[in-house]
Chains A and B, each alone.
Chain A
Amino acid sequence: MLIKINNLKKTYKMGEVNVEALGGVSFQIEEQEFVAIIGPSGSGKSTLMHILGCLDQPTAGNYFLDNEDVSRVSDDKLAEIRNKKIGFVFQQFNLLPKATILQNVSVPLIYAGVRGRRKQQHLAEKALQMVGLGDRMNHRPNEVSGGQRQRVAIARALINNPSLILADEPTGNLDSKTGKEIMKIFHQLNKEGHTIIMVTHNQEIANQAQRVIQIRDGLIQRDEVIA
């Protein structure tokens, strides 16, 4: 079991009012699953994704990642978990505009303490080849297409060989043809043994997963395995 969350709650303080973004969510995710989390905006799915990605911590409840309770640890410990166990793919790509593609892919290696520029470069090249982007490595993100940028982001997510790939609307900024190509990569990665959680509000994309968790008003409305 890769992920186990137990009665997860998150409340925000908006001025004087407490807003409950998550009202007690529980589920488990096994290794090599391909899960889609779906819900309209304001449903709490982004909050859930932030907590699953160790970018944020729950107000109450527990989150076990790789059998380790990560719901109450220090900021630096969370950073370490993000670096080693989680690979992010964002809708906005979130690449560093002034760095080359190769440098972008290498960033997680730096924080992981992987030494040696040659070794970093080798690992980055390998990751880029996995997403079909062996050339253009010395270009900057704004010199390549949106689909290629998302491939760079996927390569960056893969580079530290994480337990979990967390994708937030990965096809949201892409045309449907490019979106399909990106989805193909995720399927390929899943087949190779990567666990993938994809947050989306696109039903069509969600249906490509093996399991769909639907969130509404901070609660799980539906959790079903497709085919």
Chain B
Amino acid sequence: MILEILRMSLDSLTANKLRSFLSMLGIIIGVGAVIAIVSVGSGAQSQVTSQISQLGSNIINIGPGISRGRSGRISFSATDVFTMELAEQLMRNCPSLKNIIPSVQASGLLIASNTNYQTSIIGVTPSYQEIYEYYPAVGQFVTTDHEENASNVIVLGAGLAEELFPGENPLGAKVKLFIRNRNLLFTVIGVMEEKGTGAMGNLENQAFIPASVILKKINNRKYVNGYTAQALSSETAKTAVGEIEYFLTRYLTDTNKFRITSQEQILETINQVTGTLSLMLGGIAGISLLVGGIGIMNIMLVSVTERTREIGIRKALGAKRKHILSQFLIESLAMSGFGGLIGIGLGWVGAVGVAKIGGWPLVVTHTSVVVAFSFSLLVGLFFGIYPARKAARLDPVIALSYE
């Protein structure tokens, strides 16, 4: 019997194709918007996440706590905290740490035989490669020997190598670094692989020299700006933060002197922000689903009035309330369900388009499809019940004499 009632409902929908389509439109747009927005949100989120993890994994940054000072200068008490020795001590005292490197850099003019280039010079130790998963393509990176002896060696970013030595092999070549009115002569020992532009800016045009060279030969200070540490795994990242915090609090006796930011925290914040944004936009799309539901109810009420005589005939021929109820309920469910399906297709197409334009991966989750579709069915059910009940409760005598 259900099959026949289903067929009756579908017959009546196809008999009024334009009207059925127009009343489905609200649901189509609503579901399409939900699918597209959630997909755009997740796509953008996964892109940001991947950009951040591109900077290395399980990274913890340790920097000065407050940067307050007199007349525009950063207070020494705030920055004169972090030494190379402290880094070693941290490494010894925090078992969840895998690597730690100092953050120290300078900016100077690199001069090759024909060209020069103003760029940042990063002070590194060998662990730098591992933390950022960034390795030389040719030659070698700064070694422990270079670091201990403060050797004048330099590793060039891929872009920088191309700038300074276009079409040449830079290995073994000499470059001058002009910094603070002094010239230092470096030997190129390696060129880094290409990594592209990440969230931290262009890595390609940077140069890398032993950290000790910056400290001893350029800055003439024993302090670095902070450290970049790496936890053993993502599971131990939180533990590592705790260990560092515990050690530094005891060692420096002042929690204001340092600040720890973990990559996880940043990711969490970003995920929260994009999550809230998606939820908000999804909510707006949900409202259009609701409006679509009201459209369906409206058309179903019109349909019930229009077909009062048909209802009367069916009742006279023996249709019970449940038969009439299910006939009209199936009609509204079919409209919202079919509208939902079209909406899913449309939303998918929209998501593909936006993902292409935004350049991020297409993420259409099963959850969003299932939730949007069930929500559209729910809307059809909710807004279909009133008209269907109205139809089912019609008095057959009155319905039969309806003109």
Contact = CB atoms under 8 A, between A and B. Distances in A.
Contact of A82 (B310, B316, B395): B316
Nearest to A77: B320
Contacts of B316: 53, 55, 82, 88, 94
Contacts of B18: none
A5 interface: no
A4 interface: no
B317 A83 contact: yes
A73 to B, nearest CB: 12
A84 B318 contact: yes
What's the dominant secondary structure at chain B's contact region?
A: helix
Interface stretch (A63-71, A104-112, A126-134, A178-186): A104-112
Most buried by B among A80, A96, A156: A96
A79 B12 contact: no
A98 interface: yes
B321 interface: yes
Contacts of A160: 318
Interface string A75-89: 110011011100010
B357 interface: no
Interface residues of B, number: 24
Most buried by A among B12, B15, B321, B397: B397
Given A50-B397, A55-B400, A94-B313, A111 B318 contact: yes
A56 B12 CA distance: 28
A96 B319 contact: no
Contact of A113 (B1, B15, B312, B313): B1
Contacts of B318: 79-80, 82-84, 108, 111-112, 160
Contact of A110 (B1, B312, B400): B1
A79 B315 contact: yes
Given A96-B310, A98-B11, A98-B15, A111 B319 contact: yes
A3 to B, nearest CB: 18
Interface of B: 1, 4-5, 11-12, 15, 309-310, 312-323, 395-397, 400
23 contacts: A55-B396, A55-B397, A56-B395, A75-B320, A76-B320, A79-B318, A79-B320, A80-B318, A82-B315, A83-B317, A83-B318, A84-B318, A88-B316, A94-B312, A94-B400, A99-B11, A107-B314, A108-B318, A111-B318, A111-B319, A111-B320, A111-B323, A156-B317
